[in-house]
A and B are shown apart, each in its own frame.
Chain A
């Protein structure tokens, strides 16, 4: 595609054009080879109440879309903060100690590819109730980018900074807080951002399997009731919230920019 010259508001207009193209493809698809797929207009009509009354509560699994999103976000934040609280020190340990790294690295590589759908039943076995199981699942799945990126960051600290610390005879605590953490911060934030993305992904699966109220739970219920318009609504909501979370994370990252 040839590069267009920049014009006012192009950051808004170009994505809108992209969305319009997708909407056209969607309409064409539902009109031709997938008749069971609701068209954009049908989706809107069926979803109006959920969107226009986003905070209404009519029943446990019949609430406004933002209320559902709120429940999901609360659950995500519990699991996510647990993940970074455990993952960051673990990453530091791996980065600082070659022995720990050799010991734990194969274990991490084995645990990393396991899907949340496999962790959740284990969580239910361990914790019996669905909320702790979901929090456990989110934490275990989203921890790994934080651990690995932090470890890489620690290993990447220039030897010169550590030499400065040695010559000044900085205590281990001071070396950690004044040199190692600021130097590793950019890597840590990359890990946090990736972990947040995974946590949000996992929440949907976790809710679907446990039936908790939230965007994922709502989506699964509507699938079982064959109301496909609401599935599409959920997909859009999940995507938009994920986008907003990522943006917020990058703002926080800017605020803490160091090296």
Chain B
């Protein structure tokens, strides 16, 4: 179970300090699929980097099963926005790099069989020995997902994995992610800028307000039965309701910038000494 309590993160820039995230509170149960939707530049990648352990929070605690997270590790698999495949390794070798790290004592045969299973899981068996530059964007992203799953992580963190793809490929990969979640029952946190994608895939959607000083809004549960059919969803009243609620929240509350520095000056008499005429 992943917990974030009062997490905040800021960066030092040339013009001063920028608080990117503040008061982030989140609890994710095992096996849950959570989607975090937000505006561009609101700090979504910062949030996922914090959970992945690639960045350290300035305030608050991030804990996995009660133990605070101090750094990255294979129990939190990450699929980066830019795939991050090593260009000089084939598909199988890229996945193999991860497998070797997590299962160093396996025999060659075990290793190869395991890698092949994951290559097949993302439907890339014919491209097993190809280099990333020979693959399309969608295929590269599938390799990234296979690599992240092959380390058998407790949590899978997806940082806008489909943003760089065309709509058709995006649809295909959304279906694959949904299928993987059904099959492997992993805890998944998906960062996306597409509300529809969140509703299609997740158990609940949490909006992230606009930055700087972004914080998480309320959870919107998605109580639509699985498997969710994309075409049928368009006519589903629950889908429309949730989509309206989340979008409205993002565009109203979510868009309001939080107060920056000191609390607002109160014009009401608060002192108990003055104005004691009751």
Contact = CB atoms under 8 A, between A and B. Distances in A.
Contact of A164 (B84, B87, B102): B84
B73 A161 contact: no
Interface in B4-21: none
Contacts of B88: 182, 258-259
28 contacts: A160-B80, A160-B82, A161-B84, A161-B86, A163-B54, A163-B84, A164-B86, A166-B53, A166-B71, A166-B72, A167-B52, A167-B54, A167-B72, A167-B73, A167-B74, A167-B77, A167-B78, A168-B98, A169-B72, A169-B74, A169-B101, A170-B101, A178-B97, A182-B86, A182-B88, A183-B86, A259-B87, A259-B88
A104 B78 CA distance: 37
What secondary structure prevails in chain B residues at the interface with A?
A: loop
Contacts of B76: 167
A250 B71 CA distance: 42
Given A169-B72, A169-B101, 18 more contacts: A160-B82, A160-B84, A161-B84, A164-B84, A166-B54, A166-B71, A167-B52, A167-B54, A167-B74, A167-B77, A168-B97, A168-B98, A168-B151, A178-B97, A182-B86, A182-B88, A258-B88, A259-B88
A8 to B, nearest CB: 33
A153 B191 CA distance: 32
Interface of B: 52-54, 71-74, 76-78, 80, 82, 84, 86-88, 97-98, 101-102, 151
Contacts of A259: 87-88
A65 B249 CA distance: 84
Please classify how large the interface on chain A is, using the bins under 10, 10 to 19, 20 to 34, 35 or more. Answer: 10 to 19
Contacts of A161: 84, 86
Interface in A71-119: none
Interface in A158-189: 158, 160-161, 163-164, 166-170, 178-179, 182-183
Contacts of B77: 167
Contacts of B86: 161, 164, 178-179, 182-183
A147 B77 CA distance: 36
Nearest to B83: A160
B101 A168 contact: yes
Contacts of A179: 86
Contacts of B73: 167, 169
B12 to A, nearest CB: 16
A167 B74 CA distance: 6
B67 to A, nearest CB: 16
Nearest to A167: B72
A12 B232 CA distance: 67
B100 to A, nearest CB: 9
A168 B73 CA distance: 6
A161 B77 CA distance: 14
A178 B87 CA distance: 12
B197 to A, nearest CB: 23
Contacts of B80: 160, 163-164
A168 B96 CA distance: 11
A11 B74 CA distance: 54
B20 to A, nearest CB: 17
A93 B88 CA distance: 23
A179 B101 CA distance: 14
Contacts of B52: 167
Contacts of A182: 86, 88
A58 B98 CA distance: 64
B75 to A, nearest CB: 10
Nearest to B98: A168
Contacts of B87: 258-259
A168 B82 contact: no
A177 to B, nearest CB: 12
Nearest to B99: A168
